[in-house]
Structures are given as structure tokens and as C-alpha cells.
Amino acid sequence: MSARQRGRGRGDRRRPRNRAAQGDSLVGQRLTLDIEDVAQGGHCVARHDGRVVFVRHSLPGERVVAEVTDGGTGSRFLRADAVEILTASPERRPSPCVYAGPGLCGGCDWQHTSARFGRELKTRVVREQLQRLAGIEWDGEVEAVPGDEEGQRWRTRVEFAATPRGRIGLRRHRSHDVVPVDDCLITVPEIAATGLLGEVVETGVTGVDVAVDSAGEVVAIDLPIRRSSSGGGSAAEDAAHRDPVPNVTETVHVAGRGDRDFAVSARGFWQVHPGAASTFVTEVLDRLRPQPGERVLDLYSGVGVFTAFLADAVGTDGRVLGLEGDARAVQDGQGNLAGLPQASLQRADIGRDGWQSAIDDGLDTVDLVVLDPPRTGAGREVIGEITARQPRAIAYVACDPAALARDLSYAADAGYGVTSLRAFDAFPMTHHVECIAILSRVGES
């Protein structure tokens, strides 16, 4: 699980839009719309005067009054919020969160329906993306992950923002504006119990990053992080000045393989659903079935979660090489692999010039590959490099079904087909979904 900032509210930078090309603004105009099916991104599709409208806070089959939030007379599509429900879906429910709705917090997409139906909506999205982009007909379903309460109280890491007056809150959808909140229903109870969300932070603090580890310990870090210069103290004190963000300990349990603890930065990447890490490691190990003596490549390895469990499986006669681009994650990961001489974790900017040499230096052959790339996916070059080494199987852990489908099509061009694909609801009440695809050479099981 890599040290990217996936699922933490720090999305890719948006390209600036050409306002002139949008024509006269339609923002604020109200449209009566018939909602069609769900689309990727936490909204549903409607049409108005031959133009697609992406409507949040709606459900398939509804008739709504929607207020345009983005777009103009020259736009190819519009964005809108459903502000009045004329004909409700049977799956609609009153939102249990008072901060979910038009113009409010942008963190959740589906508080107005059940976690069960949220998984159905995600299932439709995964199926559509796989079929359209990779020609794959998938008949699976998005599965629940153990550890939430009907889609609530699961998030163990969250970055809160602060208003100019110091109130803690969350950002509006597609906005830097902050909505003050007294609770967030998808966060674990330990976060609400801190009382942080009712406090006013000191001047100059723009937000607070909160992490709750596997033991329930809470770490809260004021943002921006202020690194003071070394005061000439002990080595430990100097190190604290250089990097004031502490580590926390996360435990991963895999049935039949025991528990492992992992040190990870409180601001580093970790799966935010408490059941996700164990679920994903179990799925990868069960499907790949690593054998003693095999050579394994773990790309975007983060702090070495897959690396460590794979090293256990291949034994001291095997070899596991983890590659990760984040320096702090590599440092933590190397410590996490102590006692596993058959495993190593190195820093490499995967997909950039020279990263392939790290593989050549670390492995004489590649039997298995695990990759867990950022939301943008691995891309053609990385998929080509992996498949050229002819591993017997590849496990692809993906947080974006469109990027996954694109990369699966690249793998198919190289002679690798999907033998298993499961999808997991690791981010309930949001549109995000995690998929794990297992690939092998066509004609081999």
C-alpha cells in the first residue's frame, strides 16, 4: 500500500478551465430533470436540451429539480445539485448526516441512501468501466469490508480544514470553502471523542490532520507543519526538529498467517478503513499462492505491507523486492522488514527513467508481481515492463476502476488476461471503490 495521498481529500490538481469557452454562466439556474443511471464520480446522469448534466444528491429513476453549480451556455456538460426531489427512488432515505447535502460537505456522495444500495451503485460503475474500456464483462458485486457500522464510523485518518476564524470542518464539494462540523459520521468514534471538532484552533493553523491507529491511539497534527531549526541538542532531538510527524503502529491480521505490526507516518498513506489492509493482503496471498523460493516484485510498496507477508510466504530461499517513491515510506518500510533477509525495499520513481534498473539489480527473475498504484493507475509503460518479464501471475490493487480498466487493456495486448477480479467497499458512503484483479498469461490458469 503505497505512500500516495489516496483517499485523503488531496485530489489531483485540476486543469484551469477556459471560462470564455463556457459562454454565459448557467450557475444558479434550476432545471427539472429525469435522472438516468449512476456515473463514476458520485453523481448520476441526466440530460437537458441535448446536453449531459451530472447531478449530485440524486438517485437513478428520480425526477428532481436541480440547480446548476458549474457550466455555461458553451459547456459540453453541466454540473448540478438536486435541491428538490419530485419523485423519489425507493432507495432514498433521509441523510443521517446533517452536513451532507447541496452546498454542504463534499466528503460523502451517498448519505441519502443505504450502504447496501451504495455498493449496488458502485457495482454498476465498475461493470460499465470494465466493459467500455477493457471489453471485460464482469458479473461480480462490490463487497462490504468488515469494520464499519452500516457504512458509518470507519474512517481512521482524515484531514480537517479550518475556517479563517479557526473552526474545524470539511470542504465543500469542488471548493476550498470550509463547512464547520461538530461530528463526521464516517470517522471512527475516537475522533469525535477528542472534542477537536468543537474547538477553535489558534491563529495560523489551516487544518488538523488526525490519525487513529490499530490500538485506538489518536494523533492530531496542526497544519501547516512547522519545522523549527535544530537547537544543537541530542541526535534524537535534532531528528525531531527535522521531522516532527510521528509514526503510529498499524496491525494487519491475515488468517492462518498471523499478525504483523507496521510503523507508518501519521501523515503517510494507510488504508483508512480498519478492515481494508487485512482484506486486501488476504485476497492477494490467496489468489497468487506464492511458493517457497519464488521471486516477487512489489511495486508502489509503501511501508512494506505486501512485501512482508510475501516474504513470509516465499521463505528464506525466495526473494521479494519492494519499490516505492516516497522517501519517508521507504525509511519506515525498511524498518518494518527487519528480520526478513529475503526482503528489501528501495526508493524508485516508478515509471520514470531508470526505475527498471532497480529490478534488474534486485531480482534475477520475476515470478509474481503485486502493484498498488496511485489513482492515475500504472500506465502503459509500467504494464509493459511488468509483462515483458513474464511473471506467472500479477495482482493489481486499484482504487480507480477507469484506470484499472485501461491498464487491463494494456495487459491484454501483452498476452495477460484477468483470472479473478473482486471489488471492495473500502470507502462507504463515497463513490470510491477498491478492486483487486489477478492476471496470468492467456492459456495458463
Q: What residues are annotated to the active site?
A: 399
Question: Could you tell me if 349 and 355 are in contact, meaning their C-beta atoms sit under 8 angstroms apart?
Answer: yes
222 Cβ contact partners less than 8 Å away, ≥ 6 residues apart: 201, 202, 205, 207, 208
Give dist(CA 214, CA 390) in Å, integer. Answer: 38
Give dist(CA 419, CA 437) in Å, integer. Answer: 8
Give dist(CA 406, CA 398) in Å, integer. Answer: 11
Best CA proximity match to 221, nearest among 267, 261, 270 = 267
324 annotated ligand-binding residue: yes
425 annotated ligand-binding residue: no
* Helix (H), strand (E) counts: the chain: 9, 21
**Which set of grid coordinates corresponds to residue 315?**
521463505
137 annotated ligand-binding residue: no
String of DSSP letters for 123-179: HHHHHHHHHHHH-------EEE-TTSBTTBS-B-EEEEEE-TT-BEEEEBTTSS-EE
CA distances from 393 to 211, 437, 440 (A): 35, 10, 5
360 annotated ligand-binding residue: no
β-strands 295-299, 51-56: how paired?
A: unpaired
For residue 347, the Cα-to-chain-centroid distance in whole angstroms is 21
Binding residues for S-adenosyl-L-methionine: 271, 300, 324, 372
Binding residues: 271, 300, 324, 372
